[in-house]
Structure 1
Amino acid sequence: MAAWRSLVLTLFPEMFPGPLGQSLAGKALDRGLWALDILDIRDFARDKHRSVDDTPFGGGAGMVMRPDVVDAALHAAQENWAGAETSGEEAPGRRAPVLYLSPRGRLLTQSLVRELAAGPGVTLLCGRYEGVDERVLEAHDVLEVSLGDYVLSGGETAALVLMDAIVRLLPEVMGNEDSPGEESFGENEFEGLLEYPLFTRPAEWQGRKVPEVLTSGHHEKIRLWRKAQAEEITKRRRPDLWARYTKN
């Protein structure tokens, strides 16, 4: 099976792979467990100044990324994917979705991360300035994805977060295949809950002791303690998640 792949469209290609070139993600990239390709949006500008933005119709502050430039970049991305399929590097017919990192988009959740990790990859459009012309988003059926209710300077840092969340779920990337299921939002009996507290040696530190149940060796009691802790933390810190968990 072909490696999961991310194709990033950005005005700042030097920002990649950034932190994804280190640790588990970096080692997986070197091993070919996933692939990263970058397209510089400015390469598709149509004038000698390599302009990619213009003032917004209707007035307002800031600049907007031009639809003709972004459209050309997205078409190049499509050709890139098509070329990979022809060469046998990608499975035919498994189209990668085009995602635009935007605070008004669909919230990035662990379930969406798992969905994207199960596919062939993603094309990530990183916006800058005030955003991208709406028409080009509609023309390419772009899915907008948000990390949360806040605004970043551009889509690059959001793209790095999204890729990190996905890459760690890919086969052979993490040493312990059970680890993702035991974390916050894991896909097991703790699904929908925040992670329980974690402890390691020494058993006593600055007068604080590890809960006795964790050193008891009684696996069922440990499981029940961890679940109770995960429920209590979720209920206290994230009432929205707790309401969804109890409903389901």
Structure 2
Amino acid sequence: MKFRYGKVALVVGASSGVGKECANYLLESGYKVYGTSRKATFDNSSNMLSMIPLDVTDESTIKEAVDYILEKEGGIGVLINCPGYGLAGAIEDTSIEEAKRVFDTNFFGIMNVCNFVLPHMRRQRKGLIINISSVAGFISLPFQSMYSASKYALESLTESYRMEVSNSGVKFSLIEPGDMKTNFLREYVIKSENSDYKERCDHAVNKMIKDEQNGPEPRVVIKELKHILKKKNPPIRRIVGLDYKMIGILKKLLPAKFVEFVIIKMYGGN
């Protein structure tokens, strides 16, 4: 592999799922990889993989982690952001505080990590930042509206970063997975009890659980990661999986009301 951006990589949210698969692939490819999780310690490391503590909602831990890597390695070539927090429920039943918790992880947390790493990448005149979004970042789903909204926001943020740093040598890309066998829904906060929307919300959650159970292993993301890493000018986004690529195409081609009708039937119940 050609190490276009250097051999040091930081994977935020590397303890499980997509983040763990990305960290393992980079490790197998010869990168010196720093993975993060909220529960890691600074002495939890091996020859090429180091797990270090970082909580994207705590700015001090982001600074400490980035400073630690820079002191040891002198730079960061590749950053992959894949923390995630899910909330299922009707918008009407969602408080502002609950919505903020979703955005603090899925949007503001990622923005904070980027802003701590980006100055160093700009000074070295090279770097690649990949933000893990979701199919829910271009198709809104009922009863996981805050998750969808945070991913839509992340998509826009990443596009804006790309334009702002276009003359710096730093590249940004998005990877958009769909449902996979990550057990992500085990971490979801589900709000449906005592709700007027309970029946429809439960229908949507059960559909998501079934799709996750029947989905591919998270390693399918690696095909898109490979594509981005080898490109001199990486694409804005890569959708994971042929089925979801087709959904992306159909969304552009079909009338918006028809797409909405299909999604309501799939996730909204009667």
- Same fold, TM exceeding 0.5? no
TM-score, structure 2 normalization: 0.29
Q: Give the structure with the higher percent helix.
A: 2
Larger gyration radius, structure 1 or structure 2: 1
TM-score, structure 1 normalization: 0.31
